[in-house]
Amino acid sequence: MSDVHNIISRTQSYVRTTLAGDSSGHDWWHIDRVRKNAIHIATLEGADLVTVELAALLHDIADWKFHGGDESIGPRTADRWLTENGMDERITRHVVDIIAGVSFKGAGVATDMSTLEGQCVQDADRLDAIGAVGIARAFAFGGHFGRPMHDPEVPAERHASFGAYKSKSGPTINHFYEKLLLLKDRMQTATGRRMAQERHEFMQTFLQQFFREWNPDVTA
């Protein structure tokens, strides 16, 4: 077991170094929050904690959004790291499978995870995309890619394929309707669903205030 703990410790250092300096909301602190929430969910749901922690740590090690849309680079990078560090092959395969399926791929694309461990990591990742932190990350990501904050003349889309979702470049506010507001109902664990409710309601309140300020009634 000490070897496993050593691998987890090395993985934490590797991820923290790799993602240092990120300003898009996919930095080390995102990973750390996802790891903590994933372990919390896994503990309550009875999932394997080693698999969950490693998958949470490595889930954004090479995100397709920053690698030309290559959705295979993340799983490949995680596989290489775990194999080179002597991780058990069964756990490695499970972690790699989780990373391959964890991302949101469009409103019209099903992304259910086939294992409890995958569900815990996916729920934790989606929790960090909603609520106050999720709002902050959305605007950080939009600014990173030069997207406008809001354009009322550009409607939100419900992308029917991963390809359409990957090619989107709309305003950040649209992202709430294309993804963030959909996540509460896509949580797969009972714990994740409970944790998502308050964050979802906070986003709704934020959007109400945002649009009030966007279209001020100066006569009121």
**pLDDT of the residue at 85:** 96
Residue 201's CATH number: 1.10.3210.50
Q: How many domains does the chain have?
A: 1
6, part of any domain = yes
170, part of any domain = yes
200, part of any domain = yes
Q: Which domain holds residue 181?
A: 2-214
pTM of the entire structure?
0.92
Q: Whole-number mean pLDDT of the chain?
A: 92
Q: List the one residue out of 200, 171, 173 whose CA is nearest residue 186.
A: 200
For residue range 175-220, what is the model confidence (pLDDT) as tens digits?
999 999 999 999 999 999 999 999 999 999 999 999 999 998 766 5
Whether residue 65 is predicted with pLDDT greater than 80 in this model: the reply is no
220, part of any domain = no
186, part of any domain = yes
**pLDDT of the residue at 111:** 83
For residue range 79-119, what is the model confidence (pLDDT) as tens digits?
999 999 999 999 999 999 999 999 888 878 888 899 999 99
Q: What is the DSSP letter of 25?
A: S
Phi, psi of 107 (to 5 degrees): -60, -30
* Mean pLDDT value of segment 61-68: 71
Which residue is associated with the tokens 């991780």?
87
208, part of any domain = yes
150, part of any domain = yes
Residue 81, both tokens: 């790291």
25, part of any domain = yes
**Cα 52 from Cα 50, distance rounded (Å):** 5
Taking each helix axis from N to C terminus, what angle separates 73-84 and 89-101, rounded to the nearest 10 degrees? 160
